[in-house]
Amino acid sequence: MSAANKVLVIAEHDNRQLKKATLCTIRCAAQLGEVHLLIAGSGCAAAAEAASQVEGVAKVLCSDDARYAHPLAAALAPLVTSVAHGYSHLLAPATTFGKDLMPRVAAKLDVAQISDVIAIVSPDTFKRPIYAGNGIATVQSRDAIKVLTVRATAFDPAKVGAGGTALIEALAPIDVPAHTRFVGQALAASDRPELTQARVIVSGGRGLGSAENFHLLDKLADKLGAAVGASRAAVDAGFAPNDWQVGQTGKIVAPELYIAVGISGAIQHLAGMKDSKVIVANNKDPEAPIFQVADYGLVADLFQAVPELTAALG
């Protein structure tokens, strides 16, 4: 957009490859100017190598050090701010990684942070949803450095292996504060795709009635190669874990096919899934608000409809 703009994308990765949300952020960044990528990790050379071949990436800054074995905001913020002044924009995906890190970076730089950007209007003007997506605000930044988190569902991922071979530059690690210690991680083990990366999502609400009944959705999800999601009401009721939550305060998803089962369709849930390409709703209440956004609505008892649908998919 302008030759003067230089954009640093803070990569979320697993040391081997970039997360899809990072690729979407790169696509967004490319609309602003020349894109550099910062990869901080431990044993992350493979991720840096993969990143150097992503479309639109001009340079990769790689800080490979045991200090960055875990992506802690307190450890990464000093590294990001140490290179920030060479850039007009700092971007990260609006995942729990980016949401944790970027406000800390912005405050250190004494600039605003702009969350969940869904469109670039100009290098200083951006669109973002507010009030659970009931409004789309266009905001203009008056700061010298713009710090953004990017909603991945609003941008297609940059092509992997399609770029040239960007220069990989080693970046020296910086002392990390002693006040934070990583204790452990418990990632949900699942053969299913991640919610934010899935092509198909089967999501359950309070209508499922119990955690046991959520297994009904497993069978359907298995048939479709789908991820399983849940409404906040279902998480609140203890039927499903919080990392399944789709909505304003959970994950934002936009799969090709979203099947909402026993979900009434509170605005907070719609905020997380209404950009899905095709929405199917199954609810026994014909007045459920979910039907107002569904492409295909099935008014039926889910305990009959879901097994029938699972069987029909052969």
Partner 1 sequence: MKILVPVKRVIDYNVKARVKADGSGMELANVKMAMNPFDEIAVEEAVRLKEAGVASEIVAVSCGEAKCQEQLRQALALGADRALLVETTVELQPLAVAKLLKAIVDREAPRLVILGKQAIDDDANQTGQMLAALLDWPQATFASKVAVRGEEIEVTREIDGGLETLAMTLPAVVTTDLRLNEPRYATLPNIMKAKKKPLETLTPAELGVDVAPRLATLKVEEPPARKAGVKVASVAELVDKLRHEAKVIP
Binding part of the chain for partner 1, among 39-47, 54-62, 84-92, 126-134 by CB under 8 A, reads: 126-134
The two three-digit tokens of residue 102, written as one number: 């970027």
103 counts as binding partner 1 under rule CB under 8 A: yes
45 counts as binding partner 1 under rule CB under 8 A: no
69 counts as binding partner 1 under rule CB under 8 A: no
99 counts as binding partner 1 under rule CB under 8 A: yes
For residue 199, what are the CA distances in angstroms to 142, 217, 257?
Answer: 38, 16, 7
* Residues 278, 294: Cα–Cα separation, whole Å: 8
Of these, 80, 166, 224, 253, which contacts partner 1 (CB under 8 A)? Answer: 224
CB 146 within 8 A of CB 16: no
Binding positions for partner 1, 275-314, rule CB under 8 A: 277-280, 286, 291-300, 305, 308-309, 312-313
Closest CA to 116 of 266, 248, 12: 248
What is the Cα 280 distance to its own chain's centre? 22
* Residues 106, 291: Cα–Cα separation, whole Å: 40
144 counts as binding partner 1 under rule CB under 8 A: no
Of these, 3, 85, 161, 181, which contacts partner 1 (CB under 8 A)? Answer: 181
272 counts as binding partner 1 under rule CB under 8 A: no
Nearer to partner 1, 132 or 168 (CB): 132
How many C-beta atoms lie closer than 10 Å to residue 69's C-beta? 15
186 counts as binding partner 1 under rule CB under 8 A: yes
Nearer to partner 1, 5 or 113 (CB): 113
Which residues touch 121 (CB under 8 Å, ≥6 apart)? 127, 138
Nearer to partner 1, 87 or 97 (CB): 97
Which residues touch 184 (CB under 8 Å, ≥6 apart)? none
The two three-digit tokens of residue 27, written as one number: 């696509």
β-bridge pairing 125-130 and 119-122 = antiparallel
Nearer to partner 1, 112 or 168 (CB): 112
Shortest Å, Cβ 296 to partner 1: 5
- What number of chain residues touch partner 1 (CB under 8 A)? 91
192 counts as binding partner 1 under rule CB under 8 A: no
β-bridge pairing 200-204 and 227-230 = parallel
Widest CA span in the chain: 60
- Please provide the size of the chain in residues: 314
165 counts as binding partner 1 under rule CB under 8 A: no
- Fill in the per-residue mask, 231 to 270: x = in contact with partner 1 (CB under 8 A), - = not in contact: -x--xx-----xx-x--xx-x----xx---------xx--
Of these, 49, 55, 194, 218, which contacts partner 1 (CB under 8 A)? Answer: 194
Binding positions for partner 1, 2-41, rule CB under 8 A: none
